[in-house]
Amino acid sequence: MAFLEIDGLKKRFGNVEILKGIDVELEKGGFLVLVGPSGCGKSTLLNTIAGLENITEGEIRVDGKAINDLHPSKRDIAMVFQSYALYPNMTVAGNIAFGMEMRGVPADERQKAIDKVAKTLQIGHLLQRKPSQLSGGQRQRVAMGRALVRDPKLFLFDEPLSNLDAKLRSELRVEIKLLHRRLQNTMIYVTHDQIEAMTLADRIAVMKGGAIQQLDAPQTIYNRPVNRFVAGFLGSPAMNFLKGELEADDAPVFRADGISVPLGRYAFDGDNGRAARPCIFGIRPEHIALGDAAKAMPFTAESTVEIVDPMGSDTLVWTKLGGQIVSFRVEADKTLSNGDAIRIGFDPARASLFDAQTDSRL
């Protein structure tokens, strides 16, 4: 039995169905990240787990017990919001202790809990400050401390880092990951940032239009996306997509304008995936090799540099393949210019094929 179980969860606002039959299982101590574009239902799902929204159909169970009808205060769930939600008239210590005070926890126990959390989050020197005297990152640490001090069964994070700058987001992302490793609490984290999803999660649920498209380990989702949406959503820069035809015979081949890619090492999802049809060939930029490295690949082609885009640690190069624009990564010290003749190559075993009509993986 999983620690968190969500079965057939639906949520409607009037006649509009926001969540369309969500099924999730998460083991105790797991870290699940809900990721997807704005409006896909991530935060609504989180709010139904917390009890801030009632569900229309389905059931939510924590540690084997249904919590659908429990008041939020009875669910033993702590939530960290995007907006921090700190009381401006209270000190940091007061904000962290407020929930315990409302529950009648004795003062000496409250102080011990505050000291422990402050040490964990490295905010001991801030305990007597007001929220207005804190930076964004410090405020978010306080919001996390207020959740941690309760030692709940389940932690929920609703885009907690989205208001911070890139450097601070990166630093706090590491802190959250280390915090989870130390505490081994069960956590669910909502974000639209794919980097947060890939680095924090041991399970990712990719959502679109109120439904989960794929729920799996990060590397499985990255390397074997179940459809074109998942493939295009995760990865920066995004996966390259080439429109063409799958020609099925004893040796399946993908054909586009001027190229033929042998698919001998490609792992089709079932024999029916080999049937001839229009399809989309997907290959990630980091899986395309250049020059001598390309010559050793099962597929190679000559092309011309269209755009060179320095990224600092590496360089993104744009070229044409099969009459369509694709990008690939090279080392930052590789010197390339617009118009250079190049040879690129890749292993089709690293590719993804999708049906052109259904967008499902072949």
Residues 32, 80, single domain; the answer is yes
Show the low-confidence residues of the chain (pLDDT under 70): 271-272
**Quick check: helix, strand or coil at residue 320?**
strand
Residue 333: which CATH number?
Answer: 2.40.50.140
CA distances from 67 to 22, 24, 100, 103, 149 (A): 16, 15, 22, 20, 22
Residues 214, 242, single domain; the answer is no
pLDDT the model gives residue 116: 87
pLDDT the model gives residue 271: 66
Contact call for residues 253 and 305 (beta carbons, < 8 A): no
pLDDT the model gives residue 202: 94
DSSP-derived letter for residue 201 is -
Residues 71, 197, single domain; the answer is yes
Buried b (16+ CB within 10 A) or exposed e, 14-41: eeebbbeebebbbeeebbbbbbbeeebb
Residues 205, 109, single domain; the answer is yes
Q: How many domains does the chain have?
A: 2
Residue 126: which CATH number?
Answer: 3.40.50.300
Say if 360 falls within a structural domain.
Answer: no
**Which element (helix H / strand E) includes 113?**
helix 107-121
| Domain assignment of residue 245, given as a range | 237-355
Q: Which of 201, 232, 263 is the last residue of a domain?
A: 232
Residues 166, 49, single domain; the answer is yes
pTM assigned to the model: 0.91
- Please give the Cα distance from 114 to 90 (Å, whole number): 14
- Please give the Cα distance from 200 to 80 (Å, whole number): 16
Sheet holding 314-321, edge to edge: 289-290, 341-346, 299-310, 314-321, 324-331
Burial (CB < 10 A; 0-12, 13-18, 19+), residue 219, is: exposed
